[in-house]
Amino acid sequence: MTKFLTPLGEIAITVLGHASLLIRWEGRNIFVDPYAKVADYSKQPAADLILVTHHHYDHLDKFAISKIAAAGTEFVASTLAAKELDGAKALKIGEELSYEEIKIKAVYAYNIENKAETGNPFHPRGEGNGYILDFGGFRVYIAGDTELIPEMKELGIIDLAFLPKNLPYTMSDDMFIKAVETVMPVNLIPYHYFELNEKEIAKRLPKGVTMHVK
Protein backbone atom coordinates (compact mmCIF):
# COMPACT_ATOMS: atom_id res chain seq x y z
CA MET A 1 0.00 0.00 0.00
CA THR A 2 1.30 3.43 -0.97
CA LYS A 3 -0.11 6.58 0.61
CA PHE A 4 -0.29 10.14 -0.67
CA LEU A 5 -1.60 13.28 0.97
CA THR A 6 -4.02 15.33 -1.13
CA PRO A 7 -6.02 18.51 -0.42
CA LEU A 8 -9.03 16.23 0.05
CA GLY A 9 -7.28 13.94 2.52
CA GLU A 10 -5.04 10.90 2.32
CA ILE A 11 -5.38 8.33 -0.43
CA ALA A 12 -4.00 4.82 0.04
CA ILE A 13 -3.20 2.88 -3.12
CA THR A 14 -3.13 -0.90 -3.44
CA VAL A 15 -2.16 -2.45 -6.77
CA LEU A 16 -4.11 -5.71 -6.70
CA GLY A 17 -2.47 -6.99 -9.89
CA HIS A 18 -2.68 -6.53 -13.64
CA ALA A 19 -4.63 -3.26 -14.13
CA SER A 20 -6.64 -3.69 -10.93
CA LEU A 21 -6.37 -0.97 -8.30
CA LEU A 22 -7.95 -0.13 -4.96
CA ILE A 23 -7.87 3.51 -3.86
CA ARG A 24 -8.98 4.10 -0.28
CA TRP A 25 -10.07 7.67 0.41
CA GLU A 26 -11.90 9.08 3.41
CA GLY A 27 -13.52 5.75 4.26
CA ARG A 28 -14.51 5.09 0.65
CA ASN A 29 -13.25 2.28 -1.55
CA ILE A 30 -12.64 3.08 -5.22
CA PHE A 31 -11.81 0.11 -7.43
CA VAL A 32 -10.39 0.24 -10.95
CA ASP A 33 -10.81 -2.67 -13.41
CA PRO A 34 -11.47 -5.48 -10.91
CA TYR A 35 -10.10 -8.79 -12.22
CA ALA A 36 -10.62 -12.02 -10.28
CA LYS A 37 -7.57 -13.76 -11.77
CA VAL A 38 -5.19 -11.52 -9.82
CA ALA A 39 -6.99 -11.08 -6.48
CA ASP A 40 -9.62 -12.70 -4.27
CA TYR A 41 -12.34 -10.09 -4.38
CA SER A 42 -14.41 -11.91 -1.77
CA LYS A 43 -11.79 -10.66 0.70
CA GLN A 44 -11.91 -7.05 -0.51
CA PRO A 45 -14.07 -4.34 1.08
CA ALA A 46 -17.37 -3.31 -0.48
CA ALA A 47 -16.95 -0.86 -3.33
CA ASP A 48 -18.28 2.66 -3.19
CA LEU A 49 -17.15 3.41 -6.75
CA ILE A 50 -15.95 1.13 -9.55
CA LEU A 51 -14.16 2.58 -12.58
CA VAL A 52 -13.91 0.45 -15.72
CA THR A 53 -11.56 1.58 -18.47
CA HIS A 54 -12.85 -0.67 -21.25
CA HIS A 55 -14.85 -3.78 -22.05
CA HIS A 56 -12.11 -6.43 -22.40
CA TYR A 57 -12.56 -9.41 -20.08
CA ASP A 58 -9.46 -8.63 -17.98
CA HIS A 59 -10.79 -5.15 -17.21
CA LEU A 60 -14.54 -5.73 -17.08
CA ASP A 61 -14.85 -8.88 -14.97
CA LYS A 62 -18.43 -9.30 -13.81
CA PHE A 63 -17.49 -12.09 -11.41
CA ALA A 64 -14.98 -9.89 -9.60
CA ILE A 65 -17.44 -7.02 -9.62
CA SER A 66 -20.15 -9.21 -8.09
CA LYS A 67 -17.94 -9.82 -5.06
CA ILE A 68 -17.50 -6.12 -4.21
CA ALA A 69 -20.63 -4.45 -5.56
CA ALA A 70 -23.19 -3.33 -2.99
CA ALA A 71 -26.54 -1.57 -3.08
CA GLY A 72 -24.97 1.88 -3.19
CA THR A 73 -22.03 1.13 -5.47
CA GLU A 74 -21.62 3.60 -8.32
CA PHE A 75 -20.10 2.69 -11.69
CA VAL A 76 -18.25 4.85 -14.20
CA ALA A 77 -17.17 3.21 -17.44
CA SER A 78 -16.32 3.69 -21.09
CA THR A 79 -19.30 3.77 -23.44
CA LEU A 80 -18.98 0.13 -24.51
CA ALA A 81 -18.30 -1.13 -21.00
CA ALA A 82 -21.23 0.82 -19.58
CA LYS A 83 -23.60 -1.12 -21.82
CA GLU A 84 -22.67 -4.27 -19.91
CA LEU A 85 -23.10 -2.80 -16.43
CA ASP A 86 -26.54 -1.99 -15.07
CA GLY A 87 -26.75 1.59 -13.91
CA ALA A 88 -23.26 2.54 -15.01
CA LYS A 89 -22.50 6.11 -16.02
CA ALA A 90 -20.91 6.16 -19.48
CA LEU A 91 -18.14 8.73 -19.64
CA LYS A 92 -17.06 9.75 -23.13
CA ILE A 93 -13.57 11.04 -23.91
CA GLY A 94 -13.23 14.60 -22.64
CA GLU A 95 -16.29 14.39 -20.41
CA GLU A 96 -16.06 14.99 -16.68
CA LEU A 97 -18.22 14.19 -13.68
CA SER A 98 -17.96 14.47 -9.93
CA TYR A 99 -17.99 11.74 -7.33
CA GLU A 100 -18.29 13.35 -3.91
CA GLU A 101 -15.55 16.01 -4.13
CA ILE A 102 -13.45 14.12 -6.71
CA LYS A 103 -13.57 15.23 -10.33
CA ILE A 104 -13.24 12.36 -12.81
CA LYS A 105 -12.34 12.99 -16.44
CA ALA A 106 -12.12 10.47 -19.28
CA VAL A 107 -9.05 10.74 -21.52
CA TYR A 108 -7.79 8.83 -24.53
CA ALA A 109 -6.24 5.35 -24.25
CA TYR A 110 -5.40 3.50 -27.45
CA ASN A 111 -2.83 1.78 -29.68
CA ILE A 112 -1.08 3.28 -32.67
CA GLU A 113 1.62 0.71 -33.45
CA ASN A 114 0.46 -2.53 -31.82
CA LYS A 115 -2.18 -4.37 -33.79
CA ALA A 116 -3.95 -7.71 -33.82
CA GLU A 117 -3.66 -10.22 -36.68
CA THR A 118 -6.71 -8.56 -38.25
CA GLY A 119 -4.66 -5.40 -38.70
CA ASN A 120 -6.80 -3.49 -36.24
CA PRO A 121 -5.27 -1.90 -33.13
CA PHE A 122 -5.71 -3.93 -29.96
CA HIS A 123 -7.33 -0.84 -28.49
CA PRO A 124 -8.84 1.49 -31.13
CA ARG A 125 -8.87 5.23 -30.51
CA GLY A 126 -11.99 6.33 -28.68
CA GLU A 127 -13.06 2.86 -27.59
CA GLY A 128 -11.55 2.75 -24.10
CA ASN A 129 -10.87 5.31 -21.43
CA GLY A 130 -8.02 6.49 -19.31
CA TYR A 131 -9.06 8.54 -16.29
CA ILE A 132 -7.82 11.57 -14.40
CA LEU A 133 -9.01 11.72 -10.81
CA ASP A 134 -8.64 15.17 -9.30
CA PHE A 135 -8.47 15.16 -5.52
CA GLY A 136 -8.74 18.89 -4.97
CA GLY A 137 -5.73 19.63 -7.15
CA PHE A 138 -3.82 16.38 -6.62
CA ARG A 139 -4.28 14.78 -10.03
CA VAL A 140 -4.09 11.02 -10.54
CA TYR A 141 -3.73 9.67 -14.09
CA ILE A 142 -4.89 6.10 -14.67
CA ALA A 143 -3.71 5.50 -18.21
CA GLY A 144 -5.67 2.36 -19.07
CA ASP A 145 -4.56 0.17 -21.98
CA THR A 146 -2.59 2.60 -24.09
CA GLU A 147 0.62 3.26 -25.91
CA LEU A 148 2.47 6.56 -25.95
CA ILE A 149 -0.09 8.82 -27.61
CA PRO A 150 -0.04 12.52 -28.60
CA GLU A 151 -2.80 13.36 -26.14
CA MET A 152 -0.46 12.64 -23.22
CA LYS A 153 1.13 16.02 -23.92
CA GLU A 154 -2.16 17.70 -23.02
CA LEU A 155 -2.79 16.13 -19.62
CA GLY A 156 -1.41 18.98 -17.56
CA ILE A 157 0.24 18.53 -14.18
CA ILE A 158 0.05 14.94 -12.97
CA ASP A 159 0.93 14.16 -9.36
CA LEU A 160 0.58 10.38 -9.69
CA ALA A 161 0.52 8.32 -12.87
CA PHE A 162 -0.28 4.65 -13.43
CA LEU A 163 1.30 3.64 -16.74
CA PRO A 164 1.09 0.19 -18.37
CA LYS A 165 4.10 -1.72 -19.66
CA ASN A 166 3.46 -4.94 -21.54
CA LEU A 167 3.70 -6.06 -25.13
CA PRO A 168 1.99 -6.42 -27.47
CA TYR A 169 -1.00 -4.71 -25.86
CA THR A 170 0.50 -1.52 -24.42
CA MET A 171 4.10 -0.27 -24.18
CA SER A 172 7.64 -1.58 -24.48
CA ASP A 173 10.27 -0.43 -21.97
CA ASP A 174 11.47 2.27 -24.38
CA MET A 175 7.98 3.54 -25.07
CA PHE A 176 7.17 3.44 -21.37
CA ILE A 177 10.13 5.72 -20.62
CA LYS A 178 9.09 8.09 -23.40
CA ALA A 179 5.59 8.19 -21.95
CA VAL A 180 7.03 9.06 -18.53
CA GLU A 181 9.09 11.83 -20.14
CA THR A 182 5.94 13.13 -21.83
CA VAL A 183 3.62 13.02 -18.82
CA MET A 184 6.34 13.91 -16.25
CA PRO A 185 4.38 12.79 -13.20
CA VAL A 186 5.69 13.64 -9.76
CA ASN A 187 5.03 10.03 -8.75
CA LEU A 188 4.91 6.95 -10.97
CA ILE A 189 3.45 3.51 -10.39
CA PRO A 190 4.01 1.00 -13.24
CA TYR A 191 1.10 -1.41 -13.62
CA HIS A 192 -0.38 -3.88 -16.08
CA TYR A 193 3.01 -5.51 -16.68
CA PHE A 194 4.13 -9.11 -17.10
CA GLU A 195 7.63 -8.38 -15.84
CA LEU A 196 9.44 -5.31 -14.59
CA ASN A 197 13.17 -4.69 -14.35
CA GLU A 198 12.77 -2.15 -11.58
CA LYS A 199 16.45 -1.16 -11.37
CA GLU A 200 16.82 -0.66 -15.12
CA ILE A 201 13.63 1.38 -15.39
CA ALA A 202 14.64 3.49 -12.38
CA LYS A 203 17.97 4.34 -14.02
CA ARG A 204 16.19 5.70 -17.09
CA LEU A 205 13.56 7.83 -15.38
CA PRO A 206 13.83 11.59 -15.82
CA LYS A 207 14.81 13.63 -12.79
CA GLY A 208 11.91 14.69 -10.63
CA VAL A 209 9.95 11.46 -11.08
CA THR A 210 9.70 9.10 -8.10
CA MET A 211 8.74 5.50 -8.88
CA HIS A 212 6.79 3.37 -6.42
CA VAL A 213 6.59 -0.38 -6.96
CA LYS A 214 4.34 -2.64 -4.88
Range of the domain at 169: 2-211
Q: Tally Cβ neighbours within 10 Å of residue 60.
A: 24
3-state secondary structure of 157: coil
What φ, ψ does residue 203 adopt, rounded to 5°? -65, -30
For 58-86, write each residue's pLDDT tens digit: 889 999 999 999 999 999 999 999 999 99
3-state secondary structure of 90: strand
Q: Reply yes or no on whether the pLDDT at 214 is more than 80.
A: no
CA 124, CA 139: separation in Å to the nearest integer? 25
pLDDT of residue 15: 96
Q: Reply yes or no on whether the pLDDT at 35 is more than 90.
A: yes
Average pLDDT of the residues in 112-122:
85
pLDDT of residue 34: 97
pLDDT of residue 196: 81
Average pLDDT of the residues in 125-143:
96
Identify the CATH number of the domain in which residue 146 sits.
3.60.15.10
pLDDT of residue 195: 80
Q: Reply yes or no on whether the pLDDT at 160 is more than 90.
A: yes
Number of domains forming the structure of the chain:
1
SS3 for 38-65 is CCCHHHCCCCCEEEECCCCCCCCCHHHH
Handedness of CA 107, 109, 112, 118 (dihedral sign): negative
CA 191, CA 119: separation in Å to the nearest integer? 26
pLDDT of residue 210: 95
For 194-205, write each residue's pLDDT tens digit: 888 888 899 999
Average pLDDT of the residues in 42-52:
97
